[in-house]
Structure formats: structure tokens, C-alpha cells
A and B are shown apart, each in its own frame.
Chain A
Amino acid sequence: MRRTAKPSILIVDDHELLAQTLALALRGRGHEADVVVVESVDTIVKEVRARKPELVLLDLELGKELGPSTPLIPALRETGAVVLVLTGITDRTALAETLEAGAVGVVAKSQAFDEVVEVIGRVLAGQAAMRAGERENLLGALRASRSADEARLAPFRALTDREAAVLAGLLVGKTAEQVAEESFVAVTTVRSQIRSLLRKLGVNSQLQAVALARDAGWVPRSSS
């Protein structure tokens, strides 16, 4: 397939058929569009930097090896390109994170080709990719989600390093005796730490503490 030397649009998507087809269909609508081979973060940024497109059409999930593309957005923006996310993902928090990272907008792969072309046209003309209300709604959902996370994790911040380590042990099924042995401390010390962490978390049993930690998505400091 013909390679465009100086594309106005570069498509970064691990769905090879979708990227190639979209590029060709966009050329049919008068856009110089081409695809980036999705191998590594470095090669993507290098290619975008070398080919200097006006717009990068970026898939949000770049496969098992590369994962979400959100961390890539600032580096792509530094090349001078604007980044428009094209995705099948509907998680509003994940979508909002791309806006926060610098994407100008988000379009769904479930939208018709004509609608996607219209958004691309607006972006290339320097207009907004999304309605202001739509963008604010997404960013509001992200703020709400972060506040909820913050509230859920607040009690765990009161734990000392030792209490957190003990809770981490309980989370993987260790007994107080095992935690004591591995930490070279008396079991009575560990039991005292357990009583303290139960009080701080506002629960009455180790089982409840473990359940609370799991529900809150608490991650022990050493493995975070």
C-alpha cells in the first residue's frame, strides 16, 4: 500500500485492518492519511516525530504488550501534533484521562465513518472536537471517580508502615504467626498491630479488614 511522505493524519491503532482501511477511506475524503506500525512506544513516538502529522488518531488500547495509550499522549503532543482518541472503550474515567493528558477529544469506533470524518475536519480546522458540555461531563466524571477513590482509601493512609505490612500479609492469607516469623518480631507485637489497624479501619475482624482492603483497591506500599 502507498506510503504518504507527509501525512496530515497518522493513525496509531493495533487493529491493522482497521488502521489501513480507515487511512484509505480518509484519503478518499481528501485527507493525507497513513498508519503507524504499532511495535513499541519508542517507535510510535519516533515515527510521529519524523513524519510530523497535524493530527494523530490514537487508539486508546494498543494491545496486550503496550496497554493503554494515555501515557503516550504528552509525548505525541510534544511533536506538535494534536491527538484525537478513536476508541471502542466506553469507560468514562479512561476517556476523561485522555483529555486530561492532552487529547483534544474522543470519538467512538461505534460512530459512523462520516461522523468521525466530521470531527477530524473540525479538529484540522482548529475547532473543538467535542462540545464543551460533553468534555466537561467527562472531566467531571473523572473528578468524581477520584474523590470516591480518595474517600475509600483515606482510612488506609492512617496505617503505620508496620500496620500496612501486616495487613499486606493478611491479604495474601498469612496468619499472625507467619507474619511475626517473617518479620522477626514476637507474635504478640503483630497481634497488637492487628488490633490497631482494625481500630483505624473501623472494623471488628481480620476478615473484615481484608474485605475492606480488597473492596477499596488498597495496594500495599511496597508493591505499589
Chain B
Amino acid sequence: MTTWRPRLAIAVQPTVLRDALSRVLAAADVDEVINLTSIDAATGEHYDVVVVSDPVVDLDADVVITIPAEPGGVGWVEVGGVRVDMHVAGVDVASLPGLLRALDTYCPAEHDREPHA
């Protein structure tokens, strides 16, 4: 039986974070992870979830997780275009454990996303 793997696109800046996050999430072996090197590469594609660092309008995704662009900034989650109240959700996407929790909460898969080295 084939396990469903969410299509998860990473479109964050800076590049070193985008690459590292893609590797960490790929190592968790839960999602089909796509390291988006340019927004053009996403044209015509649908994703179950995308992680971005700046609001991007042209991405077709069920869930959009925006991480803080700057340290100390605020991130948020949009589900179906509607922003989730982060205080109510109790999720802080400014840390890796918080981001993994947000992914498990808003785009659950067969298994939780455990960080693997």
C-alpha cells in the first residue's frame, strides 16, 4: 500500500536556510519535499503545503506557513486562504520544533515529522 506523502514546497530565504530546511524535512521522510529555487518553478503546480519567508501571492497551496523574515518577527499560518489565530492555535513557527508542530497540525500525514540528523 502506498503511503500518502504531502507535497511540501520550501520557498524561504536566505538560501542556506531553504536548503537546510529542505534537507531536514526530507530526512524526516514524511513529505515529498520540493526545494523551490524560484517562484517560476512553482507555476502550474499545486502543493499541499508551502513554507515561505515572505508573502507570496502566486503559489497554489492548501496551507501556507509564513516564517518570520527577521529574527524576533512574527510568523503565521493560512489554511485555505484564511489566517489562523496563532495565539489560539498555540503554534510558534519561529523555531524548528514549532514549524514541525505547525506542519503536523495543519497538514497531517501518516506520521509526525520527527527531526532526524
Min C-beta distance of A84 to chain B, whole Å: 13
- Collect the chain B residues with CB atoms within 8 Å of residue A109's CB: 14-17
Which chain A residues numbered 110 to 138 have a C-beta less than 8 Å away from chain B? 110-114, 116
Asked if A110 and B16 make an inter-chain contact with CB atoms under 8 angstroms apart, the answer reads yes
Which chain A residues numbered 80 to 129 have a C-beta less than 8 Å away from chain B? 86, 88, 108-114, 116
- Tally of chain B residues near chain A (CB < 8 A): 24
Which candidate, B1-9, B56-64, B91-99, B104-112, is the interface stretch facing chain A?
A: B91-99
Whole-angstrom CA separation of A27 from B20 in the bound complex? 11
Asked if B117 and A27 make an inter-chain contact with CB atoms under 8 angstroms apart, the answer reads yes
Which candidate, B21-29, B38-46, B80-88, is the interface stretch facing chain A?
A: B21-29
- Collect the chain B residues with CB atoms within 8 Å of residue A113's CB: 15-16, 19-20, 23
Q: Which of B19, B20, B99 has its CB near the most chain A CB atoms (within 10 A)? A: B20
Q: Which of B24, B27, B115, B117 has its CB near the most chain A CB atoms (within 10 A)? A: B117
Q: Which of B17, B21, B71 has its CB near the most chain A CB atoms (within 10 A)? A: B71
Asked if A28 and B19 make an inter-chain contact with CB atoms under 8 angstroms apart, the answer reads no
Say yes or no: is A16 at the interface (Cβ < 8 Å to chain B): yes
Scan A16-50; emit 1 where CB is below 8 A from any B CB, else 0.
11101110110110000000000000000000000
Asked if B116 and A28 make an inter-chain contact with CB atoms under 8 angstroms apart, the answer reads yes
Min C-beta distance of B83 to chain A, whole Å: 19
- Collect the chain B residues with CB atoms within 8 Å of residue A2's CB: 117
Whole-angstrom CA separation of A109 from B14 in the bound complex? 6
Min C-beta distance of A9 to chain B, whole Å: 13
Residues of A within 8 A of B (CB): 1-2, 13-18, 20-22, 24-25, 27-28, 63-64, 86, 88, 108-114, 116
Whole-angstrom CA separation of A18 from B96 in the bound complex? 8
Which chain B residue lies CB-closest to A16? B95
- Collect the chain A residues with CB atoms within 8 Å of residue B15's CB: 109-113
14 contacts between A and B (CB under 8 A): A13-B71, A16-B71, A17-B17, A17-B68, A18-B16, A20-B97, A21-B96, A24-B115, A25-B20, A25-B24, A28-B24, A28-B117, A108-B14, A113-B23
